Every structure is written in structure tokens, then in C-alpha cells.
Amino acid sequence: MSVNWSKYSAPMAFYPLAGRLIPWFACVAVVLMGVGLYMGFFVAPTDFQQGEAYRIIFVHVPAAWMSMFLYVVMAVWAGIGLGLNARLSFMMAQAIAPTGAMFTFLALLTGAMWGKPTWGAWWVWDARLTSELILLFQYAGVMLLRTSIDDLRRADRSSAVFALVGVVNVPIIYFSVQWWNTLHQGASVSMSTGSKMAATMLTAMLLMTLAFWLYSVAVILSRVRCIVIERESLPVWEGEPTVVQKVAEVR
Amino acid sequence: MSRSSMWEAVGGIVRRDLLLAMRRRSDAAMSVFFLVIVVSLFPLGVGPEPAVLRTIGPGVLWVAALLACLLSLARVFTADYVDGTLEQMVLVPQPLAVLVVGKVFAHWVISGLPIVLLSPLLGLQFGLSGESLGVLVMSLLLGTPTLSMIGTIGAALVLGVRGSGLLVALLVLPLYVPVLIFGAGAVTGSMAGIGAEANLSLLGACLVLSLFLAPWATAAALRIALE
């Protein structure tokens, strides 16, 4: 069976497709999150150095991974939008930014909650913490730039350029902060040394990562649907999205 | 496109921007005064102990340089945008990215170079000594052009946007982080006896990279703004 995939680059055609996909992604995300959290909290062994406090990593590490991954995905969609001049790509980039920022914030928050019992401080100017904070600033920049520009086309393209500039800058920031950190601090607590991870811990963490990933897809697709409604002025206020599907079929 | 006409265009833009700046000297002087005032406020805030001042000196000077550079960014394109010169610049046969390099260079001469020249004096206020003063000047000499390069991307992105003054700060300051770290790190390193070569080399690398990439991003942003 061959599918004409390029058909779905039109927002009107993508809208019903996204609607059909969302429940699947959402259900699998919930199941995986349940299994992952159960494994993380009840199956995985207690860490002999950090006790029970380490269990926050089952949320923290996947959130941090997703925050960086989503920034790259956002920049890729922005680049595709600039290159191919495709509206749906810009909509995807717009929809990804809030979820990415949410994961960045979640990573910072859980990091602070882990840092207090383990390091004895809510915040340490650790390399990873600092670069994650700057990543949050960059997400904020992308979203603020978009909302400050009234002209939709310019808002799309300007924030796309900024997202691409940011993606070049993120690795430079990461390394600069790391070198700065090693210059300033001597022996301090490092996250990389310490434990070889037990197999169940790794499994739980990977399950949670997968769950966050699917959750992101579900949330981003529903946000894209909202953006499509908003931009294409679809008449959904009269009823359910079935109206939209009919409109899409007619076209 | 002959190479000589490209240089002529760049030279013309630099000459024109410098001439305009000379006609309005107070504009350029303002960001320098801002730098001096900000730097002078810190000893009043944290206390006059020489040891403390020497520790925070490099960082304070660099952050102040960052902010001073930021304040002058609004001037790079706004006037040209308002009176239509920018549209003419987009239409000329020379590539826009090359013209942007001319604009950036002029911006650096107007707002970056005075900071570099003034920095030894400000460094003395913070008790920096001979060699660190030299490193401070060197780091600013290598770092401020990068600040101008990155800053103009932001200036082009927010051209004609409401609340652009604050917005450009929010966009550009996170991008300035590496330059700040390497710049202040070079001075602290020389004070601590580690040596400044590594950080100065990294600043140079940042400059080359931004020289290579930033004009394209700025040109793209300008085209989007002028659509």
C-alpha cells in the first residue's frame, strides 16, 4: 500500500490525521509511564550512596534528555520551514517550543529537588545545570520573539532563524560552561562518577524516556491541531472537529 | 561580481556609518558613559575591599561591556530601516551578508573599540595589575567584535517589532554566555597564574566562527524583516 505522504504537509489534511494519531500516542505514553514509574519506585534497588533520593532521576534524566532533543527537533522543523516554505513545519516548530520549555523547567526543578538532599544545596553552578538554564532562556527567547511579532509569516520565519542560531550556540555554551566550571571548582560532587547503574534502573529510565517522548508527540500534535484551527479560521466552534474533517474531505 | 566592487561597497558602508556617528557623537558617548557608571556602581554595592574587587573585577568589567554593547545594538539598523536605506541595501547587487559585515565593523568601531581603549583605566579601579590589564584589553579586543556579530542578528530579528529594546536583550544575552565565560576567564586565569592563552584562543575561535556564520543569519533576518 503506498501512501501519498506529501498530502499531509497541508494543514487541512494533517488535522484529521493528527486527530487519529493522538489517542494511540497518549495511551502508550500513559502505559509506559505507569510501568516506568512502578519499576523506578518499587523494583529498582536502593542506591547505596544516595539512598532513596536518587529515584528522582527517573523523571529528571528523561526530562533533561527530552528538553535538548526537542530543541533540536524544533530547529529542524524551523529549518525545513525556512527551506521549503511549508506552513505546517512552522506550526510544528511553534507547537514544540512550550513542551520543550516545560521539560527544561521540569529537569531544573527535579534537579533542585535532588540536589538539596544530595549536595545540600538547591542550586549549584554545575555545568549541566547552567547550560540547562540557558536552554530555558533560549526556549523563552523563541516563544517571546514569536509572540511579539504580529505578522504571522514574519513571526514564523524570525523565530525559525533564532531557533537555528540557538542550535549552533547550545553546544558551544555547554562546553564553555563545562570548562568554566572545571576552572573554578576543584573537587566537588560530580554526577558522572559514582555508580554503575543496575539493569532495572536503566530499564526504568529508558521506559520513562520513551513515555516522555510519546507524551511529547501526543501533546505537540494536539497543539498543532489548535494552531491549525486558529490560523486557518476553521469553523469548529459550531461543533465537534468532525466539521473540520468534513471540510478537509471536501477540499 | 568583481571583488573590488564588493570591497568598495563595504568600505562605503563603513565610511557612511562612521560619518553618521561622528555627526552624532553623543550617541556613541552614551554607551561608554553607561559602561563607566555601571562599573563604578559595583564597588559602592559590594564594598571597597581591594581583595574582593580584584576577584570580581574581570567579571564586572565583562558584564558591563556586554550590557554597553547591547544598548547600542538598537542603533545598528533602526535609522536605516525607518528612512528606507535598508531596502536599498537589500537591492544592491553585492551580497547582503557582505554589507552586513561592514555594518558590524562600523558598530564595533563606534561602540566596541572605545570600551577596549577605556578598559585599562577601569581595570585599575578594580586593582588589576600590569599583566592582567594587558590580558583584559586583549580579551576585549577579541571578544567585543563577536558581541557585535551576535548582537546584530538579534537587532535584525527585532527590527520594527514592538518592545524591541527589551526583546533584543532577552534574545542576545543567552547567546553571549560563551564570550563572557572565555573573556572573563582569560583575565581570571592570568591573575591566578594559569595563563590566558587557552581562553584567548577560544575567544579567537568564537570570533572566527561568528564572522563566518553571523552575517548570513543577520542577512536572512533582515530579508524577513523587510518582506
d(CA B187, CA B28): 26
Q: For residue A156, what is its C-alpha cell?
A: 514564523
The confidence score (pLDDT) of residue A7 equals 79
Residue A148 contacts B, CB cutoff 8 Å: yes
B-interface mutation test, from A82, A131, A158, A175, most B Cβ less than 10 A away: A158
DSSP B162: T
Q: Is A84 exposed, middle or buried (0-12, 13-18, 19+ CB in 10 A)?
A: exposed
The confidence score (pLDDT) of residue A189 equals 41
Sorted by sequence, the CB contacts under 8 Å of residue A249 that are 6+ apart come out as none
B190-204 pLDDT, tens digit per residue, is 888 777 888 899 899
B-interface mutation test, from A134, A147, A165, A183, most B Cβ less than 10 A away: A165
Place of cell 562599573: B39
SS3 A47: strand
Q: CB–CB of B185 and A145 under 8 A?
A: no
Nearest residue, CB atoms, B178 vs list A141, A149, A173: A173
- Tens-level pLDDT at each residue, chain A (251 residues): 567 777 787 888 888 888 888 999 999 999 999 998 888 888 777 766 667 777 888 888 899 889 989 999 999 999 999 998 888 899 999 999 999 999 999 999 988 888 888 777 788 777 778 888 889 999 999 999 999 988 888 999 999 999 999 888 878 877 777 777 655 444 344 445 444 566 777 888 889 999 999 999 999 999 999 898 888 776 654 445 555 555 555 55
The confidence score (pLDDT) of residue A187 equals 37
DSSP A86: -
Q: Is A13 exposed, middle or buried (0-12, 13-18, 19+ CB in 10 A)?
A: middle
The confidence score (pLDDT) of residue B163 equals 80
CATH topology of domain A13-187+195-250: Four Helix Bundle (Hemerythrin (Met), subunit A) (1.20.120)
- Cβ distance A145 to B167 under 8 Å? yes
- Cβ distance B128 to B187 under 8 Å? yes
B167-226 pLDDT, tens digit per residue, is 999 999 999 988 998 898 888 888 887 778 888 998 999 999 999 999 999 999 999 988
Separation of CA B77 from chain center:
15
The confidence score (pLDDT) of residue A129 equals 80
The confidence score (pLDDT) of residue A237 equals 47
The confidence score (pLDDT) of residue B152 equals 94
d(CA B5, CA A55): 65
Q: CB–CB of A164 and B217 under 8 A?
A: yes
Residue ranges covered by each domain of chain B: 3-226
* Chain A (23-42) residues lying within 8 Å, Cβ to Cβ, of chain B: none
Sorted by sequence, the CB contacts under 8 Å of residue A48 that are 6+ apart come out as none
d(CA B182, CA A173): 11
Q: What is the mean pLDDT of residues B77-96?
A: 88
The confidence score (pLDDT) of residue A192 equals 52
- Cβ distance B34 to B71 under 8 Å? yes
B20-61 pLDDT, tens digit per residue, is 888 888 888 888 899 999 999 988 988 888 888 888 888 999
Q: CB–CB of A145 and B157 under 8 A?
A: yes
Report the predicted TM-score, pTM, of the whole model to 2 decimal places. Answer: 0.85
Whether the complex's predicted ipTM surpasses the cut of 0.90:
no
Separation of CA A162 from chain center:
17
Q: What is the mean pLDDT of residues B92-101?
A: 89
A-interface mutation test, from B81, B146, B157, B188, most A Cβ less than 10 A away: B157
Nearest residue, CB atoms, A148 vs list B163, B173, B202: B163
The confidence score (pLDDT) of residue A2 equals 66
The confidence score (pLDDT) of residue B153 equals 93
Residue A161 contacts B, CB cutoff 8 Å: yes
**Phi-psi bin for B122: left (phi > 0), alpha (psi -120 to 50), beta?**
alpha
